[in-house]
């Protein structure tokens, strides 16, 4: 069951028509993912599927940002267990049989971008920014970006954005197929809930039957790509370039990479 008692980092709101809203709730950290939120994100899809009161899930972020990615400075432990949990975040969301809508307010970076783009329908506020920022931090883009970005924007575009970490404004993201809809910021939740309400009022078995096979295709890609990408990301966690990027971030200076 999807109940607030199971969650500390995510606010759960269930509406009478079967729409549930899950709000990432670390606004002071731009909803960056620490160990606790990482674990809660693995549970969210299964709890949604197991709750007969829920027909559609909407995921958004509290405050001014959707999700700033992994919070390595504030509580995300970089070890092998982290990579196992990272895989469950991606695969469990792909296994969710009910529609998932992401309402992207502000920045969606790294893991935050992956989470946003794995939604069945992605609605972005006009000020939203998308980027997979792993590579500029000396990390392989291993937490799902290599699964979903190529499927949405094509192989070469995906490689460019994952290798550079370039930020993509919402309207450009819509143009290249990264998101479904862009609306004014103050209309974001209204538009996301309008879509959620429409799906909640629809034929739930048929809707599930329409999305699940497509997600099985994405899951097939995930099964091929994600183990390798997470393994490579873990190896880059221990690289000199990653340590240098972290130091440069703290010291507010450009990093000096050595390729080691």
In a domain, 223, yes or no: no
Using an 8 Å Cβ cutoff, are 57 and 100 in contact? yes
In a domain, 216, yes or no: no
Total number of domains constituting the chain: 1
The domain of 167 spans 4-186
Is this model's pTM higher than 0.75 or not? yes
Q: Residue 249: pLDDT band by 50, 70, 90 thresholds?
A: confident
The pLDDT value recorded for residue 146 is 97
* Edge-to-edge strand ranges of the sheet holding 181-183: 10-14, 19-24, 56-61, 100-104, 121-125, 181-183
Using one digit for the tens of pLDDT, what is the confidence trace for 197-227? 999 999 999 999 999 999 999 999 999 999 9
pLDDT > 70? residue 78 = no
CATH classification at residue 126: 3.90.226.10
Angle made by CA atoms 252, 25, 139, in degrees to the nearest 5: 40
In a domain, 21, yes or no: yes
In a domain, 73, yes or no: yes
In a domain, 213, yes or no: no
In a domain, 206, yes or no: no
In a domain, 243, yes or no: no
Rounded to 5 degrees, what are φ and ψ at 76?
-105, 115
Using an 8 Å Cβ cutoff, are 123 and 81 in contact? no
In a domain, 257, yes or no: no
């Amino acid at each position: 069951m999807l109940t607030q008692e199971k969650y500390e980092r995510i606010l759960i709101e269930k509406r009478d028509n079967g729409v549930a809203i899950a709000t990432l709730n670390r606004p002071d950290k731009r909803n960056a993912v620490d160990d606790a939120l990482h674990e809660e994100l693995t549970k969210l899809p299964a709890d949604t599927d197991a709750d007969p009161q829920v027909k559609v899930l909407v995921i958004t972020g509290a405050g001014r940002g959707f999700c700033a990615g992994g919070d390595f400075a504030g509580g995300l432990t970089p070890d092998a267990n982290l990579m196992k949990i990272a895989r469950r975040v991606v695969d469990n969301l792909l296994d969710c049989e009910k529609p998932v809508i992401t309402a992207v307010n502000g920045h969606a970076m790294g893991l935050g971008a992956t989470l946003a783009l794995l939604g069945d329908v992605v609605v972005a506020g006009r000020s939203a920014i998308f980027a997979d920022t792993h590579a500029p931090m000396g990390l392989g883009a291993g937490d799902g970006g290599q699964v979903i970005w190529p499927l949405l924007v094509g192989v070469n575009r995906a490689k460019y954005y994952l290798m550079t970490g370039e930020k993509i404004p919402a309207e450009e993201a819509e143009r290249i197929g990264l998101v479904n809809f862009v609306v004014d910021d103050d209309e974001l939740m209204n538009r996301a809930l309008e879509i959620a309400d429409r799906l909640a009022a629809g034929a739930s078995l048929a809707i599930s039957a329409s999305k699940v096979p497509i997600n099985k295709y994405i899951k097939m890609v995930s099964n091929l790509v994600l183990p390798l990408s997470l393994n490579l990301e873990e190896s880059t966690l221990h690289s000199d370039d990653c340590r240098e990027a972290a130091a440069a971030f703290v010291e507010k200076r450009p990093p000096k990479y050595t390729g080691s």
